[in-house]
Amino acid sequence: GARPAGGLLRFSPIAPVPADVDAVTVPEGYSWSPIIRWGDPILPGGVAFDALAQTPEKQALQFGYNNDYLDIIVNGAKGLSGLLVANHEYVNPAIMFPPTVDTVTAKKIAKAAHGMSVVGLKRSTYGTPWTYDPAGRKNRRITADTPFTLTGPAAGCELLRTTADPAGRTVLGTFGNCSGGTTPWGTVLSGEENFNGYFRTTGVSAAEKRYGLKDAPSTYGWEEIDPRFDARSSGDVHEPNRFGWIVEIDPEDPTATPLKHTAMGRFKHEGANVTLSGGRPVAYMGDDERFDYLYKFVSARSMRTGTAKADREYNRTLLTEGDLYVARFSGDSPVAEIDGTGKLPSDGAFDGTGTWIALTRGGKSAVPGFTVQEVLVNTRLAADTVGATKMDRCEDVQPHRSIAGRVYVACTNNTDRGKAGKEGATEVAPRLANRDGHIVEINEDKGNACGTTFTWNLLLVCGDPATNDSTYFAGYPKDKVSPISCPDNVAFDASGNLWISTDGAPSTIGYNDGLFKVGLSGRERGRVQQFLAVPTGAETCGPVVHERDGRGMAYVAVQHPGEDGTWDAQLSRFPDYVPVGQAAKPGQFAGPRPSVIQVW
Ligand code: FEO
Ligand code: CA
Ligand code: CA
Ligand code: CA
């Protein structure tokens, strides 16, 4: 049915929130509450969180740390039950444990706090807040030790074999899981992003260098508790090759072994979002590193629309076979007009055409000098040889909900653009030292996501328009928008508005990160309005916006609140705001707990 212009989540935008404010800020008339917090028990035998008595065993039965990707999958016509699926990207040990916890225990807790969670949800009526079900039948934790099956053309190849897994087909764990996407067949994809920081390697090969793998102590020191993270020994040199994939889990089937899809390539995967084009799944994917690339994967086969178990199992194979492409963007304005300041060229737009360059075709390599296994395991090296366009850190990439072939790419920032020895401004990345990021809008030719040509334009060139002339809001009056910086996750509501969550605004425009709505059509196009702000130090992740029965609800994952604090000097007390004097009691905690929150 028709929805009012602007969608069902009506609000007056909030004012930007100064970066030291330790509060969730929502529009007038809205309320918020946590659905689930780091440490809340979700599996049988799980116990209530007690920061002073945390153990690895307890953590493995509890919701993990630093929730990033989020979906709220609503069941049934009444929408009174559902599933929450979240990634736990990384940890902030300095604010999680008392300094008295021994280092081995602390590392094991950190390892168990990584991965993903599936949690049952319940509510009494639509529009009232959810509560999570600690005994949900589908509740699940996936950690850095959960077995995964490798699929696709590189599964079993030499580059993926280790002493512990000579067949090269079974990997333990997932970590660095950043964003993701729920597929049309109901599974959840998750991107393994900064996997390199978890390993100590020899650091000498071209591939190791290209992926940032070094001979230096890893970020969390897991090589001290689990030898496979020390990839200098002969049996484990390939262990880092088993991370950096798109993983797929089936939240409806807690017994299904999660998958790692080699056909979709290996890089610092931000996430993957699937659209159907003529029934065929097409996944858009960003490599979140300065000057790295935008990719897409086109499945060889079409989705089955049945809901029988056999259909579900068939659909879980759709991402095992298909063609992998990398994007090349061309601008249509004279190079001299792209001066690096963000000034619009004389045709009035940062825009142009593009092509998808095949890296694999029909299960074979399309890159001279690379086998298909080499293309898939060392995808960055293959893409380097084909003239792919260097982007300003592609984060989330979201196909439009209803317009065929339209896609939005969040390029979060790239402060190195134009530095000595680095590429300068291009029409698709038009600012030197790009601090605030931009959003690319792609239209696949003829709306065909399976095709190889497209047009593109920049929808937003982000920043605070009050202080920054280089901002652009698709022509919308700049004095009537909310300042926005460092777009990261993007999502659609059912009315066709794009929602953008940010990561990094405190250090650029000086405001807490938040969630923003932007219209895409008619007079609303480019109108950015801030819906919420997260507490000090936090990044806004998710987001999810639902509209039904005449009203909207929004959900975000609040990641790394108070991340620059210490155990003794916490900067955030989100979301419980326990009075400081009570924090010494068992079960009370004066520090932050990354949480999924709901706003209604
Ligand atoms: Fe984990 Fe690219 O942000
Ligand atoms: Ca142009
Ligand atoms: Ca991200
Ligand atoms: Ca981020």
Q: For residue range 526-574, what is the model confidence (pLDDT) as tens digits?
A: 999 999 999 999 999 999 999 988 889 999 999 999 999 999 999 999 9
Dihedral class, residue 447 (left if φ above 0, else alpha if ψ from -120 to 50, else beta): left
Dihedrals φ, ψ of 550, to 5°?
Answer: 85, 5
Cα angle for residues 594, 436, 15 (degrees, 5° grid): 65
Identity of the amino acid at 187: T
Dihedral, CA atoms, 390, 395, 400, 405, nearest 10 degrees? Answer: 30
**Token pair belonging to 139:** 């509740």
Q: Is 579 exposed, middle or buried (0-12, 13-18, 19+ CB in 10 A)?
A: exposed
Q: Which candidate, 264, 280, 315, 263, places its Cα nearest to that of 448?
A: 280
Kindly give, in sequence order, each residue whose CB lies less than 8 Å from that of residue 306, ignoring residues fewer than 6 positions away. none
Q: What is this structure's pTM?
A: 0.97
Quick one: pLDDT at residue 76? 86
Dihedral (CA of 161, 163, 164, 166) sign = positive
C-alpha 354 to ligand 2 mean position (Å): 13
Query: What is the reported pLDDT for 127?
Result: 78
DSSP letter at 525 equals B
- Radius of gyration, alpha carbons of the chain: 23
DSSP letter, residue 345: P
- Between the CA of 19 and the centroid of ligand 3 the distance, in Å, is 19
Tokens representing 270 are: 């931000």
Ligand 4 center to 488 CA (angstroms): 6
Q: How far apart are CA 427 and CA 429, in angstroms?
A: 5
- Asked if 574 contacts 538 with a C-beta cutoff of 8 angstroms, the reply is yes
pLDDT score recorded for residue 345: 98
Tell the burial category of 368 from Cβ atoms under 10 Å away from its Cβ (0-12, 13-18, 19+).
Answer: exposed
Measured distance CA(266)–CA(262) in Å, rounded: 7
* Closest CA to ligand 1's atom 1: 178
- 195 SS3 class: helix
CA 389 – CA 538 distance, rounded (Å)? 31
CB 185, CB 318: distance < 8 Å = yes
Distance CA 120, CA 42 (A): 9
What burial letters (b/e) apply to 475-508, b meaning 16+ CB within 10 Å?
ebebeebbbbbbbbbbbbbebbbbbbbbbbbbeb
Q: Spell out which residues line ligand 1, taking CB within 6 angstroms.
A: 89, 178, 193, 270, 288, 395
Find out whether 33 and 13 touch, Cβ atoms under 8 Å: no
Q: Pick the closest to residue 458 from 342, 597, 591 (CA basis).
A: 342
In angstroms, the CA 445 to CA 355 distance is 10
Q: How far is the CA of 111 from the centre of ligand 3 (A)?
A: 20
Question: Which residue numbers in the chain have pLDDT < 70?
Answer: 1-5
Looking at all shown ligands, the one closest to residue 338's CA atom is: 2
Residue of the nearest CA to atom 3 in ligand 1? Answer: 178
Index of the ligand 1 atom closest to the CA of residue 503: 3
Distance CA 455, CA 394 (A): 17
- Per residue in 16-66, pLDDT (tens digit) is 999 999 999 999 999 999 999 999 999 999 999 999 999 999 999 999 999
pLDDT at 587: 77
Q: Which atom of ligand 1 is nearest to the CA of 89?
A: 1
